[in-house]
Structure formats: C-alpha cells, structure tokens
C-alpha cells in the first residue's frame, strides 16, 4: 500500500524555499515489496511494482532527484532506474537512452550487495535526472521507477508497518550548466 505524505512533503520541501518546483513522496507500509528467485529474471530488467512509482510535473531541462529507501535481504542485485511512459520504461539511467544496459550491469550507484539470507540492511539510494522532452507524458508529468535484475539465489526488497520504506522525487526546476 502507498500512503501519500502531505505533511512529510511540506516538511522536506516547503514552498517557502523557492527552490523546489515539485515534490512527491510515498510511505510504503504493509508486507514485502519485491521478491524473486535468481534465474527467474536472467536477461531481463523488471519494473518495480506500480505502487512504488512516483509521478510529478516537469519540463524538459528540469533537474530531478529520485531517492529510494528500503530494507534489503539476500544476495546482490543489479538495479537501474527509468522514466516510465504508459507502463513501459522509456529511458534508463544507466544508458540515457530507451535501451537498457545488457544484464548484469545497470546503474552502478544503485547496486545493492546483500549481507546474506536472514540478514536485513537498509539502503537509501539517490540519483540525479535531467528531464528530456521525450520523458514527459501528454499532461507534462514524469514517472520514475526502479528496475531490478538478480543473480543471487534469493533477494528481497522489504518494507513493513514497523519499518516503512520511503520513495521521493524532487523537481528542482531548470538545471544550470
């Protein structure tokens, strides 16, 4: 389940700063998020569930910061991020194009190396994203998502009522050179 956090949005991106064009966050609660068995997705990148995706207004040239904080368990996992149009990855962080990196690469800054079965560790991963016109839907919004691939026997991204996950997407407006 995704719970919008209007109060959290106001606390982390107050309108009075004048620097934030748009901000959206979701608190993830309930039972586990993404679980898979190694080999099941070899050769393919798989989008995280729709409930974990965030959409905000944007324009070409805007600078975004996409941040995901979740618990993880199990072996290593390759991750990538992308903008999503009509439920399909449109541009990948690892390549900057509509074509993903070949497995098992991806976006190195998002890789997660687990501590082993039964051991949980938290992670907060962020990456910058400069919006391209082709990233936007007809309403002028961008949707961001993580994608995963694994080569481990068991990998699980978790959130719970006790240990919620948080995903945020900040639009800082036009980037500067």
HEC-encoded secondary structure of 75-124: CCEEEEEEEEECCEEEEECCCCCCCCCCCCCCCHHHCECCCEEEEEEEEE
* Mean pLDDT, residues 8-21 taken together: 52
Reduce the DSSP state of residue 17 to 3 states and report it.
Answer: helix
What pTM value is reported for the model? 0.78
Give CA–CA dist 50/86, Å, rounded.
Answer: 11
Number of domains forming the structure of the chain? 1
Q: Residue 119: pLDDT above 70?
A: no
Of 175, 168, 141, the closest CA to residue 63 belongs to 175
CATH label of the domain that carries residue 143: 2.60.120.1340
Tokens of residue 134, six digits: 């082709």
Give the residue numbers spanning the domain of 149: 2-174
- Taking only the tens place, the pLDDT of each residue in 43-68 is 577 888 887 889 999 999 999 999 88
Q: Residue 111: pLDDT above 90?
A: no
């Amino acid at each position: 389940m995704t719970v919008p956090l209007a109060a959290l949005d106001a606390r982390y991106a107050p309108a009075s700063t004048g620097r934030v064009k748009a901000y959206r966050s979701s608190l993830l609660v309930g039972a586990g998020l993404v679980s898979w068995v190694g080999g099941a997705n070899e050769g393919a990148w798989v989008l995280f569930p729709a409930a974990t995706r965030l959409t905000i207004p944007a324009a070409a040239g805007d600078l975004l910061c996409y941040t995901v904080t979740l618990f993880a368990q199990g072996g290593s996992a390759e991750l990538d991020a992308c903008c999503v149009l009509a439920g399909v990855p449109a541009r990948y962080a690892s390549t900057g194009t509509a074509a993903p990196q070949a497995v098992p690469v991806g976006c190195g800054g998002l890789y997660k190396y687990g501590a082993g079965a039964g051991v949980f560790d938290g992670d907060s991963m962020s990456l910058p994203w400069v919006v391209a016109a082709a990233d936007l839907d007809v309403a002028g919004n961008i949707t961001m998502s993580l994608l995963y691939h694994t080569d481990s026997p068991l990998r699980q991204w978790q959130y719970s009522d006790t240990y919620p996950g948080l995903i945020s997407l900040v639009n800082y407006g036009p980037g500067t050179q």
